[in-house]
Structure 1
Amino acid sequence: MKQLHIISFNYPYPPSYGGIIDVYYKIKALSDLGIKIHLHCFIDQIPGKIDVEIKEITENVFFYKKKKNPLLYFSGTPFAAAIRNSEVLLKNLERDKAPILFEGLQTAHIIQFLKDNNHKLYLRYHNNETEYYKGLSLSEKNLFKKIIYRIESLKYIRYQKKLLKKFEAVFCLSEKEYKEVETYSENAQLIHIFHGNQSVKQLNKKGNYFLFHGDLTTADNKRALNETIDLFKTLPQYQLVVASDRASEDIKRKISEVANISLTPIQTTEKLHHLLENAHGNILVSYQNSGTKVKLFNTLYNSRFVIINGNITDDPVLTGLCLYGADINEIRQKIITSAEKDYDAAENRKEILEKTHSDKAKAEEIVKIIFKN
């Protein structure tokens, strides 16, 4: 029986944002191949129950509370890694000498405390954390947060170099990250994002609005939304729907002041899919160059036109399925062009996506690498 420990930076249900979407659908795809998953989750509060969707795809689920000590900001270890440390986790790992898959570098701080080398260690490299926190610092307007993010970015330079060589393989999300890891440690494997989509939706030729969706607590998404709002102020003939469960009062006020822009909650995956299926075009803009964003897959599988800038993906196959704008003026022109077009790309998307980006194929590749002996 093939068993695998997976250490997640959070509880992976519901799969409602980028990294956790990858974690949940990876576990599901591995479970479907018969792998017995021992899931370990670092969380703020231990939940009262484990969701049936997690129970069905795991052998065991363990919870560990993240440390609350603010003095850990002064540690040489990045804060996100320092707060994910547990002696109980170490004991639980020793019960089964199965391989360990760490979800993100922030979960890998405990490697130095493992008692022996009986575990083979693997990493899901969700971000180049140095670049990620540098990007957050540049996008953040709050001075205190800006400084904290910049310090975290600098801490990760040494942390990444030290840790990346300790893994049998590092599973990278994108070409960019694959090349970066290869320069550090020569153990990189390119395994694209797990996204949970099974088939490309067959949709009629026209949708009803343009859609912007995302977590509006992140500096990058807030900046992208502000740019998009300003853009649609100059395009009053088109409707923009902003979908998010996490909008500040400032964002709500800004949206309410523009007649052709509305805000709606997402709440469930079904609601998100309904919003995607009725959108004529999707606006995906980022100012962080961190590989392919998982929401790109949701839009390509479930909606019509997808308008992106250069930071949404570095995969030329995926870029070819989108309308690309190098700057805000080009994005504006893509909105106007797509609004007049009929959507007829479903068959082409189906052929490309189901051949190159299915979750099952990616899980089979991981199994082949981890259980090669």
Structure 2
Amino acid sequence: MADHLHIVSFDVPYPADYGGVVDVFYKVKALHDLGVHVHLHCFEYGRGQQPELEKYCAEVHYYPRQEGHKGFSLQLPYIVASRNDEQLWKRLNADAYPVLFEGVHCTYGLTNGAVTKKNIAIRLHNTEFEYYKQLGKWETSLVRKAYMQHESRLLKRYEATLKNYRILSISQNDCTAYQKLFKADNSSYLPAFIPNTLVTSKTGKGNFVLYHGNLSVAENEKTATWLLEKVFNELDIPFVVAGKNPPDRLVELAHKHQHTCIVANPGETELNDLMQKAQVHVLPAMMQSGIKLKLLNALFKGRHVIANSEMIEGTGVEQACQLANNPTEMKYQIFRLFHKEFTDDDVQIREGLLQNNFNNRKNAEQLMRALQ
């Protein structure tokens, strides 16, 4: 097994405070624990240099992202064209160590031939063209909608050019999509690297239902609105929406009924407390993309979890969730589980399932084997 690895990250992966960088940061930690010398390369555009990363890496380098018109290209997706740095490509070519590119975002050096190595893998965080296509559907700004649609078209063409590289998908669905759409025969599933190591779900019963997420994200706002208008409009069970920066219209809607409310910008401790005290977590998604960190958080920390196909299909945790794909099914499952105790047996079953799929050390070993 190689004992050195270059990782090229689309963003600075600390603090680990959103889905994509969580996977990168805990991957770096797991590799460090395995004895791998990680040479980390980060595109930096607002998060700053982070000394914490030096605890787990042999070296850390930062490169400016070419934002705005500087990163614009007629041929390449903006998320790729804006991450180009000659010094980075020189450093990657200076030794024989394998390279892991985090997301298609960081692969500019492959398309222009600047990186000439053979032992390369791409960590797929989403089927990006489909992700941008879905984002465009939820955008209310016509300019943003047009941008998302244009980026989706460029990404579909670009992603097809990566089919001959080793692809390590964060979800089974993304792996299958690359195999079917792009004939990427060297594509395989590598589960997400996560902060949780033990299931801390409390047994017994809570007294409210919880939805949580970054509420400034259009998809999450739409999901919370859908739950309030289509599910809890008639279901008289306490419902809490919690998350970052909720828009005023969502706050007003959450306060429309006495049994619904919103907790804006909870700190980490407060959010963890809400997650552990809730009786039911409702986590429908408006679109399918990778694997949602909030789903794994709910499974590791919470009691009963209800989700739809878009949220759980291809994640490997389907057995730990109750499926509900429309308001009627959602109301039924909430009512049923709100009165159902969460037991020691439930904890043990969930722990077995999650530890089998999301074991950081085992997955780090799988990654290094893939780069042999």
TM-score (norm 2): 0.92
Residue 181 (structure 1) aligned with residue 178 (structure 2)? yes
What residue is the counterpart of 2:204 in the other structure?
205
Residue 29 (structure 1) aligned with residue 35 (structure 2)? no
Structure 1 residues 58 and 188: alpha-carbon distance in aligned structure 2, compared to 1, 3 A threshold:
same
Q: Distance in 1 between matches of 2:356 and 2:228?
A: 36
What residue is the counterpart of 1:110 in the other structure?
109
How many residue pairs match? The answer is 366
Equivalent positions of 1:1-373 (< 5 A) are: 2-45=3-46, 47=48, 49-52=49-52, 54-70=53-69, 72-73=71-72, 75-115=74-114, 117-118=116-117, 120-165=119-164, 167=165, 169-183=166-180, 184-231=183-230, 233-235=232-234, 237-259=236-258, 260-268=260-268, 270-315=269-314, 317-344=316-343, 345-370=346-371, 372=372
Q: Identity of aligned pairs, percent?
A: 27
Q: Which runs of 5+ in 1 are unaligned?
A: none
Cα distance per residue 1:273-324 (max 9 Å; x no partner): 2221111111111121224322211111110010101111223751121111
Identify which range, 299-308 or 288-297, moves more after superposition.
288-297
Q: Is the 8 A contact 2:101 2:122 kept in 1?
A: yes
Identify which range, 232-241 or 317-326, moves more after superposition.
232-241
Q: Distance in 1 between matches of 2:231 and 2:114?
A: 57
Q: Distance in 1 between matches of 2:19 and 2:358?
A: 16
Offset at residue 240 of structure 1 (A): 2.0
Q: Is the 8 A contact 1:291 1:313 kept in 2?
A: no
Which letter does structure 1 place at the counterpart of 2:43? Answer: F
Offset at residue 182 of structure 1 (A): 2.2
Q: Distance in 1 between matches of 2:42 and 2:369?
A: 25
Q: Distance in 1 between matches of 2:33 and 2:138?
A: 40
Q: Distance in 1 between matches of 2:251 and 2:95?
A: 49
Q: Distance in 2 between matches of 1:297 and 1:318?
A: 9
Which letter does structure 1 place at the counterpart of 2:354? Answer: L
Offset at residue 56 of structure 1 (A): 1.6
Offset at residue 235 of structure 1 (A): 4.5
Q: Distance in 1 between matches of 2:148 and 2:316?
A: 32
Query: Aligned with 1:62: secondary structure?
Result: strand
Which letter does structure 1 place at the counterpart of 2:262? Answer: S
Q: Is the 8 A contact 2:245 2:264 kept in 1?
A: no
Query: Aligned with 2:60: secondary structure?
Result: strand
Cα RMSD (Å): 2.1
Q: Is the 8 A contact 1:212 1:283 kept in 2?
A: yes
Q: Is the 8 A contact 1:209 1:238 kept in 2?
A: yes
Structure 1 residues 327 and 95: alpha-carbon distance in aligned structure 2, compared to 1, 3 A threshold:
same
Q: Distance in 1 between matches of 2:73 and 2:315?
A: 41
Offset at residue 239 of structure 1 (A): 2.1
Q: Is the 8 A contact 1:291 1:311 kept in 2?
A: no
Q: Is the 8 A contact 1:292 1:314 kept in 2?
A: no
Q: Distance in 1 between matches of 2:171 and 2:255?
A: 37
Structure 1 residues 42 and 246: alpha-carbon distance in aligned structure 2, compared to 1, 3 A threshold:
farther
Q: Distance in 1 between matches of 2:89 and 2:355?
A: 39
Q: Is the 8 A contact 2:169 2:190 kept in 1?
A: yes
Q: Is the 8 A contact 2:13 2:25 kept in 1?
A: yes
Which letter does structure 2 place at the counterpart of 1:7? Answer: V
Identify which range, 314-323 or 183-192, moves more after superposition.
314-323
Structure 1 residues 58 and 266: alpha-carbon distance in aligned structure 2, compared to 1, 3 A threshold:
farther
Q: Is the 8 A contact 1:231 1:332 kept in 2?
A: no
Structure 1 residues 263 and 202: alpha-carbon distance in aligned structure 2, compared to 1, 3 A threshold:
closer
Q: Which runs of 5+ in 2 are unaligned?
A: none
Q: Is the 8 A contact 2:216 2:244 kept in 1?
A: no
Offset at residue 162 of structure 1 (A): 1.0
Offset at residue 238 of structure 1 (A): 2.1
Offset at residue 141 of structure 1 (A): 1.8
Q: Distance in 1 between matches of 2:57 and 2:315?
A: 35
Q: Distance in 1 between matches of 2:44 and 2:138?
A: 26
Q: Distance in 1 between matches of 2:131 and 2:119?
A: 27
Q: Is the 8 A contact 2:291 2:315 kept in 1?
A: no
Q: Distance in 2 between matches of 1:254 and 1:288?
A: 23
